[in-house]
């Protein structure tokens, strides 16, 4: 069929074909090619650079006016996380096919992980939001005890697993304010120090009820908003955290299943009779560990020493608008302050006023559960077997001397090559290595 394709046949076992030979079979015999799953994308506005620059100078103005510590400036965002992570966004399909379905994309059992990071670069503990009314819909006390000790929290939404007005209020009270009190104590800040909460333009965030509740309950919190449809380029959680967090969760889930299979095999259970632990309760009780592992990874330090080498700090620094970025050093730089005074009086007056939002909205009943109306940022094309360190290096922009076979960097993302390339991707039939089997 394929001539002298590379094959390996251990004694007493069926033949095993190399990855290279398998790919050739799929392409040549079945006319399949690796294709990315089809999905509508969100368009970044044409004036993105201008509105992001305006937001940057809102930071410059606010920090200069209020003298806010970088440890009291926090970006928060929610990201949907499936309980049984699927593969990457590629699948084999007939060449020329217009639609490319992805197995596992229909997995609906999920929770929301609310991620946040301060301008100093530290990622805060997560809030996990689950669909349900009773505590039985949350991870058990035993499963979540260690995560709670480390500051992670869990909430319920009776209609969906997305955040709601009530869970957002709980996140502020239980995680954001706990962070504020800790930073005031550690860095000897004034007890009445103000802080900035940097939010996207989600319906609840920009609602009149939420903004009035913040002003009345926590007058020391200043709300700044990511420009509409610019989360992918000017929101730190989107730019540098969500993809890495989901990659960590995917790896943790894969390790959980692999360990289960290994334990079952040690008990003498035949491979065909092993049943994976995919019941909701079984998976839900694993998520506290997955979340703490993900945050620990995000708070790990890259190879270079110094405060700016953390993943969190890189996420802020990679939010760019022309020559400016959202790092603390850039916001408070002499160049930024000098540029502020060179801006026209009309431009400065616009920034000093209320930040315009896409439209005035009301959530009506504050208890109403509203699903996230901004599309969740794509979390890359990273298989669970891609080393986490490699994914981190791509996200924060470190130079990479070598990429794994079959992968390339495209627009800052680690992507699997979509087209079959015999010279770059396939091993010769005489050079099959043991790790192919």
The DSSP-derived string for 262-303 is HHHHHTT--GGG-----SHHHHHTTHHHHHHHHHHHHTSB-S
Angstrom distance (rounded) from CA 124 to CA 152: 9
- Both tokens assigned to 10: 């251990």
Confidence label for 413 from pLDDT (cuts 50, 70 and 90): low
Least confident of 117-126, 318-327, 366-375: 366-375
> Quick one: average pLDDT of 185-198?
96
Domain boundary assignment for the chain: 1-30+401-437, 48-89+97-396
Q: Which helix (H) or strand (E) holds 143?
A: helix 141-149
Rounded Cα–Cα distance for residues 284 and 278 (Å): 9
411: left (phi over 0), alpha (psi -120 to 50) or beta: left
Reported confidence tier of residue 354, pLDDT bands at 50, 70, 90: confident
Would you state the pLDDT for residue 330?
Answer: 97
The answer to whether 395 touches 376, Cβ cutoff 8 Å, is no
Phi, psi of 268 (to 5 degrees): 90, 10
Residues 6+ apart with CB under 8 A from 277: 256, 257, 260, 283
Q: Please state, for a pLDDT cut of 90, what percent of the chain lies above it.
A: 53
- What does the pLDDT average to over 406-429? 50
Q: Which two tokens stand for residue 115?
A: 């991620």
Average pLDDT score over the chain: 79
Residue 413 vs residue 294, higher pLDDT: 294
Q: Taking the CA of residue 357 as centre, how many other CA atoms within 13 Å lie in the half-sphere pointing to its CB?
A: 19
Q: Worst-scoring range by mean pLDDT, 192-206, 309-323, 392-406?
A: 392-406
Question: Is it the case that residue 364 has pLDDT exceeding 80?
Answer: no
Q: How far apart are CA 161 and CA 111, in angstroms?
A: 5
- Using the predicted structure, report yes or no on whether residue 390 has a pLDDT greater than 80: no
Give the pTM: 0.76
Which one is predicted more confidently, 56 or 399?
A: 56
In whole angstroms, give the CA distance from residue 221 to residue 211: 10
Contact assessment for residue 170 and residue 213, using Cβ atoms and an 8 Å cutoff: no
What's the pLDDT score for residue 149?
A: 97
Whether 294 and 252 have beta carbons less than 8 Å apart is answered as: yes
Which tens digits make up the pLDDT trace of 299-336?
986 544 444 568 899 999 999 999 999 999 999 999 99
**pLDDT at residue 28, as a whole number:** 67
pLDDT of residue 219: 96
Q: Kindly give the interhelix angle for 345-352 and 48-66, rounded to the nearest 10 degrees.
A: 70
């Amino acid at each position: 069929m394929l001539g002298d394709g590379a094959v390996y046949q251990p004694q007493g076992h069926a033949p095993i074909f190399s990855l290279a030979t398998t790919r050739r079979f799929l392409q040549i015999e079945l006319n399949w090619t690796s294709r990315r799953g089809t999905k509508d994308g969100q368009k970044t506005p044409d004036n993105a650079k201008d509105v992001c620059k305006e937001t940057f100078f809102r930071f410059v103005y606010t920090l200069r006016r209020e003298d806010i510590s970088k440890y009291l400036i926090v970006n928060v965002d929610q990201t949907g996380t499936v309980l049984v992570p699927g593969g990457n966004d590629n699948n084999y399909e007939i060449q020329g096919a217009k639609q490319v379905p992805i197995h596992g994309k229909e997995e609906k059992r999920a929770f929301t992980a609310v991620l946040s990071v301060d301008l100093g670069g530290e990622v805060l503990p997560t809030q996990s939001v689950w669909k349900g009314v009773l505590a039985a819909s949350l991870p058990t006390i035993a499963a979540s005890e260690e995560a709670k000790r480390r500051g992670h929290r869990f909430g319920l939404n009776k209609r969906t697993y997305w955040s709601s007005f009530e869970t957002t209020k709980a996140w502020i009270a239980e995680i954001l304010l706990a962070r504020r009190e800790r930073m005031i104590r550690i860095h000897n800040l004034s007890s009445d120090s103000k802080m900035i909460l940097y939010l996207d333009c989600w319906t609840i965030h920009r609602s009149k009820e939420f903004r009035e509740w913040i002003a009345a309950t926590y007058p020391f919190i200043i709300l700044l908003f990511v420009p509409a449809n610019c989360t992918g380029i000017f929101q730190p959680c989107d730019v540098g955290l969500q993809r890495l967090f989901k990659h960590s969760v995917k790896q943790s889930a894969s390790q959980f299943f692999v360990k289960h299979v290994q334990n079952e095999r040690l008990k003498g259970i035949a491979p065909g009779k092993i049943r994976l632990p995919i019941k909701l309760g079984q998976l839900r009780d694993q998520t506290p560990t997955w979340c703490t592992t993900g945050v620990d990874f995000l708070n790990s330090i890259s190879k270079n020493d110094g405060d700016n080498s953390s993943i969190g700090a890189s996420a802020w620094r990679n939010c760019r608008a022309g020559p400016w970025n959202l790092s603390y050093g850039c916001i408070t730089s002499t160049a930024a302050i000098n540029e502020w005074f060179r801006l026209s009086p009309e431009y400065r007056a616009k920034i000093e006023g209320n930040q315009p939002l896409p439209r005035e909205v009301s959530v009506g009943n504050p208890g109403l559960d509203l699903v996230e109306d901004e599309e969740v940022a794509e979390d890359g094309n990273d298989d669970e077997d891609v080393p986490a360190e490699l994914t981190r290096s791509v996200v924060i922009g470190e130079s990479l001397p070598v990429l794994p076979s079959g992968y390339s960097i495209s627009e800052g993302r680690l992507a699997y090559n979509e087209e079959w390339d015999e010279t770059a991707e396939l091993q010769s039939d005489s050079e099959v290595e043991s790790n192919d089997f």
